[in-house]
């Protein structure tokens, strides 16, 4: 597992890029996340960059890569990735001999447009929060909220990669079939119960050959990093269509990623023990290892904010709806997701995306969706300006944020992902 702390994590490190040294900065020199960018409003080819403070280091301009193929970079071995991180850290730290040359390769983040971090060939969405699964299950199956397989097998479904976009998306309210409980037949129309889902998106680095499962001890060698992920959901469409084969049109109309991928190497100081309640079934051997138990989870704080159209017009800042931590919310680790995804011989490829599923903690204030916060529409959420929400309305902007902080380590952030609902 990628657990090694080295000089790139040093709390004393400072960058010659002054904005990276500001307290609370998402992108200090200890982070160094990857993304794709181009000059705003241009038709330039996308370039690979690393966020440092409020700047982007153009990797090709800095002489660090010979191409701008993010998927090829993600396919590198862990040793090659660690070597690149070391180069970046040494070149961006105060006193570096590369400062004069690399300063010419810096681009202000404010002047660019970001893209989805890589070409996503396939996307699987999991269901890793037992709290979310139980709360939602109670709404549909009060006597049997959690299906018997949940605590044995990581549940997932194959999603739609083509409709995944980057932060700043405008989400068109989808249409689909719905059926009211007292109606004789379904009708086609716009979704009335549009929701968000607070998720993490884990990206595959190196792939595996078809027919060759990835053992849990090697699973993290196949993980590149993580981004924030909002899997928009049309709950009324979902309720009518999801049996017997699961989500379809209720999910595939749009999903939104944050533009920066924080690598597993950067997350090393924020690892945590994977702890399963002693009363619960323990993972089968292919999903279990001493390393996964001792440090397979990640300590990532997650926050959901909402800004309505009325708030925006009044100049009011977004308000927090909920907050949780991935360690509290996730029932399965990223390594277990890789091991399970490939146990049947499925071949993952560089750039494939695995959604965590909605991450909700045990408390009501930690819910990762309006479906939970508003109890399926029965208990509206009242905002500070007096507005109420059961589900998202046109003009609403939904924002997810994430960061890691721990004593003895420098805080790093995942940035944010936002999307605005339009009619």
Domains, the chain, with CATH or none: 7-115 (2.30.30.230), 123-422 (3.90.850.10)
Query: For residues 358 and 165, what is the distance between their CA atoms, to the nearest angstrom?
Result: 18
Q: 199 a known binding residue?
A: yes
Q: Which tokens is 322 given?
A: 């909920």
Alpha helix positions (H), 296-374? 309-313, 326-329, 334-342, 370-373
pLDDT value of position 2: 55
Kindly tell me the sign of the dihedral angle through the C-alpha atoms of 57, 63, 68, 69: negative
Q: 405 a known binding residue?
A: no
Q: What is the pLDDT of residues 128-145, one digit of tens each?
A: 999 999 998 888 788 888
- Beta-carbon count within 10 A of 275 CB: 10
| Exposure letters 50-80 (e unless 16+ CB within 10 A, then b) | bbbbbbbbbbebbebbeebbbbebbbbebee
Q: What is the pTM of this model?
A: 0.97
Residue 404, strand partner residues: 412
Q: 6 a known binding residue?
A: no
Residue 132: active-site member = yes
Mean pLDDT confidence for 76-87: 96
Q: What is the pLDDT of residues 35-49, one digit of tens each?
A: 999 999 999 999 999
- Beta-carbon count within 10 A of 387 CB: 17
Computed over every residue of the chain, the mean pLDDT equals: 96
Q: What is the pLDDT of residues 230-262, one digit of tens each?
A: 999 999 999 999 889 889 999 999 999 999 999
User: How wide is the angle at C-alpha 203 spanned by C-alphas 198 and 206, nearest 5°?
Assistant: 165
Query: For residues 232 and 225, what is the distance between their CA atoms, to the nearest angstrom?
Result: 22
Q: 331 a known binding residue?
A: no
Q: 125 a known binding residue?
A: yes
Q: 231 a known binding residue?
A: yes
pLDDT value of position 147: 87
Q: 162 a known binding residue?
A: no
Kindly tell me the sign of the dihedral angle through the C-alpha atoms of 143, 145, 151, 157: positive
Q: Which tokens is 15 given?
A: 């960058």
CB-CB contact of 89 with 32 (8 Å) = yes
Q: What is the pLDDT of residues 371-385, one digit of tens each?
A: 999 999 999 999 999
DSSP secondary structure code for residue 298 in this structure: E
Set 9, 67, 131, 132: catalytic member? 132
User: How wide is the angle at C-alpha 38 spanned by C-alphas 35 and 43, nearest 5°?
Assistant: 135
């Amino acid at each position: 597992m990628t657990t090694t702390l080295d000089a790139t994590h040093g709390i004393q490190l400072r960058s010659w890029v002054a904005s990276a040294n500001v307290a609370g900065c998402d992108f200090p020199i200890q982070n160094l996340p990857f993304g794709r960018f181009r000059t705003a409003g241009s038709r330039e080819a996308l370039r690979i960059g690393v966020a440092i403070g409020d700047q982007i280091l153009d990797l090709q301009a800095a002489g660090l890569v010979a191409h701008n193929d993010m998927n090829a970079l993600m396919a590198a071995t862990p040793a090659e990735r660690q070597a690149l991180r070391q180069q970046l850290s040494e070149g961006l730290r105060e006193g570096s001999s590369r400062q004069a040359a690399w300063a010419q390769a810096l681009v202000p983040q404010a002047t660019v447009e970001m893209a989805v971090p890589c070409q996503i060939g396939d996307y699987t969405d999991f269901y890793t929060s037992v709290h979310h699964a139980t709360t939602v299950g109670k709404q549909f199956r009060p006597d049997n909220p959690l299906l018997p397989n949940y605590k044995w097998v990581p549940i997932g479904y194959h999603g739609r990669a083509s409709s995944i976009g980057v932060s700043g998306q405008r989400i068109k309210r989808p249409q689909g079939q719905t059926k009211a409980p007292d109606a004789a037949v379904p009708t086609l129309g716009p979704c009335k119960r549009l929701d968000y889902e607070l998720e993490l998106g884990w990206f595959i680095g190196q792939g595996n050959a078809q027919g060759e499962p990835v053992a849990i001890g090697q699973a993290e060698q196949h993980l590149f990093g993580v981004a924030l992920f909002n899997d928009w959901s049309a709950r009324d469409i979902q309720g009518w269509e999801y049996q017997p084969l699961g989500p379809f049109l209720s999910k595939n109309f749009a999903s939104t990623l944050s533009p920066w991928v924080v690598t597993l190497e950067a997350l090393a100081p924020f690892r945590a023990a994977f702890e399963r309640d002693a009363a619960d079934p323990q993972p089968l051997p292919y999903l279990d290892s001493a390393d996964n138990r001792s440090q397979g989870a990640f300590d990532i704080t997650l926050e959901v904010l909402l800004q309505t159209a009325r708030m925006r017009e009044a100049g009011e800042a977004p308000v927090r709806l909920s907050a949780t931590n991935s360690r509290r919310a996730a029932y399965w680790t990223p390594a277990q997701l890789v091991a399970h995804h490939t146990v049947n011989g499925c071949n993952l490829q560089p750039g494939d995306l695995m959604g965590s599923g909605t991450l909700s903690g045990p408390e009501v204030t930690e819910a990762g969706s309006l479906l939970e916060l508003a109890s399926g529409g029965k208990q509206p959420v009242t905002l500070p300006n007096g507005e109420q929400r059961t589900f998202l309305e046109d003009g609403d902007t939904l924002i997810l944020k994430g960061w890691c902080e721990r004593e003895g380590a420098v805080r790093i952030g995942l940035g944010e992902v936002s999307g605005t609902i339009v009619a």
